[in-house]
């Protein structure tokens, strides 16, 4: 049976810690290998991307494989051909799928009917490669993540879900400040809680950020939510990560963002460009973590 990475909880605690340490080792040694030599990975993206696409293409090549990029306009993913049929066909051409799409159900169908590994490069429910990369960015500064408090300020979206999942495996304290009406999916939250995730939810960003070592946020309106922009701007008032909010965190607090950022909305330009901001390390770490995830799947 192929190994898949659809959410962070597809890894055990032991596997997640091993992948984290391996990603750090890969980064420190500028790792290259022939692990994927002779293998082709299809990158199927129904949502636009910069970091995810480039980091995966480069990562596949650095592991000796061949990436083939397929944009939504170039494929029939779930449109004129049943997705189950697409999964069966692609399994006969390639050795793995990296998929950036909307609903998680599409990935489930590709797994059910295909015979090759599937990696979640983003869905509406989860963004596991990004948050595992964020774990690497935190791990570089605090190797014992169980001693860390992480704050999330913003939407109860795929990033929030993945941070809750990560808490279950890495043991950090997570405090989420989420506006009323934008809460996380209860089934996802309950599953992570049952696995030991340490998290709390509040409507007050100051409460969530108090004493935090890392403060995270995301855009208020993600791809596919553009028509909600004005409504979200109203709902998210008071949820901007600015200098006043950061002052309530730990003295050595770091600011994180999965990018792209909208300075003046979810984060002030002063915080984004400050010495506390480690967003560029996060972006670089996408490459190293995705290589470690691919090695976990194919080694």
Strand partners, 80: none
Strands (E) located in the chain: 40-45, 66-71, 96-100, 118-122, 149-153, 173-177, 198-202, 214-217, 254-257
Judge if pTM exceeds 0.85. Answer: yes
Please check whether residues 267 and 290 belong to one and the same domain: no
Total domain count for the chain?
2
Please check whether residues 39 and 58 belong to one and the same domain: yes
Q: Reply yes or no: is the peptide bond before residue 260 cis, omega within 30 of 0.
A: yes
Catalytic residues: 100, 127, 130, 218, 258, 286
Q: Is 130 annotated as a binding residue?
A: yes
Please check whether residues 109 and 25 belong to one and the same domain: yes
Check if the beta carbon of residue 153 is closer than 8 Å to that of residue 241: yes
pLDDT on residue 223: 60
- Domain annotation covers residue 134: no
Question: Does 93 or 225 have the greater pLDDT score?
Answer: 93
Q: Is 247 annotated as a binding residue?
A: no
- Domain annotation covers residue 210: yes
Q: Is 222 annotated as a binding residue?
A: yes
- The CATH number linked to 75 is 3.40.50.1370
What are the tens digits of pLDDT across the range 100-139? 999 999 999 999 999 999 999 999 999 999 999 999 999 9
pLDDT on residue 230: 83
Please check whether residues 85 and 120 belong to one and the same domain: yes
- Domain annotation covers residue 102: yes
| Mean pLDDT estimate for the chain | 95
Question: What's the CA gap between 253 and 247, in Å, rounded?
Answer: 9
Scan for tokens 């169980």, then name that residue.
146
Domain housing 164: 142-277
Please check whether residues 106 and 165 belong to one and the same domain: no
């Amino acid at each position: 049976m192929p190994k898949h990475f659809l959410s962070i909880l597809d890894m055990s605690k032991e596997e997640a810690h091993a992948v984290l340490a391996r990603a750090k080792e890969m980064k420190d040694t500028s790792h290259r290998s022939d692990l994927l030599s002779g293998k082709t990975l299809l990158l199927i993206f129904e949502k636009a991307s910069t970091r995810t696409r480039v980091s995966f293409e480069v990562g596949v090549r650095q592991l000796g494989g061949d990436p083939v990029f397929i944009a939504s306009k170039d494929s029939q993913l779930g449109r004129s051909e049943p997705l189950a049929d697409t999964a069966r066909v692609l399994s006969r051409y390639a050795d793995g799928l990296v998929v950036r799409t909307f609903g998680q159900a599409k990935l489930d169908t590709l797994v059910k009917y295909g015979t090759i590994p599937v990696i979640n490069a983003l869905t509406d429910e989860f963004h596991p490669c990004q948050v595992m990369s964020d774990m690497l960015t935190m791990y570089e500064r605090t190797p014992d993540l169980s001693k860390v408090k992480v704050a999330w300020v913003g939407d109860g979206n795929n990033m929030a879900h993945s941070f809750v999942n990560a808490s279950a495996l890495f043991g950090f304290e997570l405090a989420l400040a989420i506006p009323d009406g934008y809460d996380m999916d209860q089934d996802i939250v309950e599953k992570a809680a049952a696995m030991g995730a340490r998290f709390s939810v509040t409507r007050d960003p100051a409460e969530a950020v108090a004493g935090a070592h890392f403060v995270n946020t995301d855009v208020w309106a993600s791809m596919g939510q553009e028509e909600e922009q004005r409504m979200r701007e109203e709902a998210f008032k008071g949820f901007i990560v600015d200098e006043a909010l950061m002052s309530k965190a730990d003295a050595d607090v770091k600011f994180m963002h999965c990018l792209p950022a909208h300075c003046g909305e979810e984060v002030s330009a002063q915080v984004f460009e400050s010495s506390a901001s480690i967003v560029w390390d996060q972006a670089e770490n996408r490459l190293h973590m995705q290589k470690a995830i691919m090695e976990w799947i194919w080694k």
